[in-house]
Chains A and B, each alone.
Chain A
């Protein structure tokens, strides 16, 4: 059994968390399980060294990268290919728990180790990596693949589930930029010529999937950096006089907030120290700049104000200073004191804690497929964790 990308991101803490859960389960079952735990989190100094050696390359649409980006990251992981899994499988373990890992590698590792064609093994992995989503309609059940040297058969087990040539072919579109080429660490899976054939009402035969080995082996990097701490205010506006001038009103509110912050907090806080975003639901809250019907005047809008700053305290102060302008910034149509914003909560603000953004979309060209990953072999189950091999696997 293989589990990859433990805890979703596959950082070290998430691997350990998942290991605890597995340990609890196998103890209850009263069995012993020889386990390989493969960590994928990256050490900053190592990556800085690789960056200096120009062994880190950007992928399409990658953000800017320099040594400070690496130093400023909260967590960075490398996406392992089949090789670290194969090394553990060769040790004869019962169970592999991996950090960040190519989903398809979990399925492709064993057959490739046994000499099956890589194109078919990887393609089969791609088809089943999301479970029954490759069925006509996804549902409760599992996917079963019978891999042979010139084709594979894929069928679901579960009530009412069916794989059809179209459903299997269509799954290769899901969450991929290119539906025909999938870049893995060791090369590119090319399914341009793949054929899909129904052999019974629920089983599909797939053939002609190819694999092009890479010129140089790569490990994809993923990383996140702290944007700051965030405090938000949620509310709404229903006044039609205000809604027909919402853009200029929000611009005025923003200016007023900025002036208030400058007045109250003085020179200790500049405009670069915080970030204010108004999400306007009912107008362009969901699509933002991509909204095609931006000119329609809505009947009502929901507003989420996000204040982000280096500390939670500052973010909250800024949100608090934003409340009054939102509540009372006047419009010309009404005379006298008005309340322009319907707060959802009291206190109006909610502290969200730290917020992050993705900061890496790069690959490393390592010296070996195993270089960036650390494997430990443990026995879990009936007894407490015993580290039978603390050595770092390279």
Chain B
């Protein structure tokens, strides 16, 4: 199942003018734990999706919030020549299609 079908929110935003941050949030612990157990979200996959060095990527598992977070330096600082997303709000799209394999006995449904 695609990440966009499991998460209640996938978003990107500036974290200051020099960083982009990505939040992947779930409705409940069940969806969060399913994705966590899949180990599909990690710094390697993110670095591949966003063509950046693995060491530049920071990844967080936020149990209390049922959320995951990635951060990495902006490819172009905010307002630099060529920057076309000044708030960084439309950079999350590649995360939507990350495939999360469901265990055979899994009865989980898409969120809608």
- Give the B-binding residues of A (Cβ under 8 A): 59-63, 165-166, 169-170, 172-180, 194-196, 222, 224, 227, 275, 277, 279, 285-290, 292, 306, 308, 355-358, 361
Contacts and interface: CB of A to CB of B under 8 A. Distances in A.
A231 B16 CA distance: 27
A358 B17 contact: yes
Contacts, number: 110
Contacts of B83: 288
B25 A63 contact: no
A57 to B, nearest CB: 15
A61 B53 CA distance: 13
Nearest to A281: B84
A76 B93 CA distance: 34
Given A61-B73, A288-B84, A358-B77, A174 B23 contact: yes
Contact of A178 (B23, B60, B64, B91): B60
Interface in B32-53: 49-51
Contacts of A306: 81
Nearest to A356: B79
Given A170-B65, A177-B21, A178-B60, A358 B90 contact: no
Contact of A357 (B64, B80, B93, B94): B80
Interface in B81-103: 81-85, 90-91, 93-94
Nearest to A173: B23
A294 to B, nearest CB: 11
Nearest to B89: A286
B60 A180 contact: yes
B18 A178 contact: no
B31 to A, nearest CB: 12
B51 A178 contact: no
A164 to B, nearest CB: 10
A357 B67 CA distance: 32
Contacts of A169: 62, 64-65
Given A275-B81, A288-B82, A177 B65 contact: no
Interface in B3-32: 13-19, 21, 23, 25
B76 interface: yes
A277 B81 contact: yes
Given A170-B66, A174-B13, A288-B76, 15 more contacts: A61-B19, A63-B77, A169-B62, A173-B23, A173-B65, A177-B58, A178-B58, A178-B60, A179-B62, A306-B81, A357-B78, A357-B81, A358-B18, A361-B16, A361-B17
Contact of B49 (A165, A195, A286, A292): A292
A292 B79 contact: no
A195 to B, nearest CB: 8
B15 A170 contact: no
Interface pairs A-B: 10 shortest CB-CB: A169-B64, A170-B65, A61-B73, A358-B17, A169-B65, A357-B79, A177-B71, A61-B18, A177-B15, A173-B23
6 contacts: A169-B62, A172-B62, A172-B65, A173-B21, A288-B76, A355-B79
Contact of B79 (A174, A177, A289, A358): A358
B75 interface: yes
A47 to B, nearest CB: 18
B75 A173 contact: no
Given A179-B69, A275-B81, A277-B82, A290 B18 contact: no
A77 B105 CA distance: 57
Contacts of B69: 173, 179
A274 to B, nearest CB: 11
A318 to B, nearest CB: 14
A207 to B, nearest CB: 12
A206 to B, nearest CB: 10
Contacts of A196: 64
A62 B60 CA distance: 22
A279 B81 contact: no
Contact of B62 (A60, A173, A289): A173
Contact of A62 (B18, B50, B75, B78): B18
Contacts of B16: 175, 177, 361
Contacts of A173: 21, 23, 25, 62, 65, 67, 69
Given A227-B81, A358-B78, A358-B79, A175 B15 contact: yes
Contact of B64 (A194, A275, A285): A194
A172 B67 CA distance: 11
A286 B64 contact: no
Contacts of A288: 75-76, 82-85
Contacts of A289: 51, 75
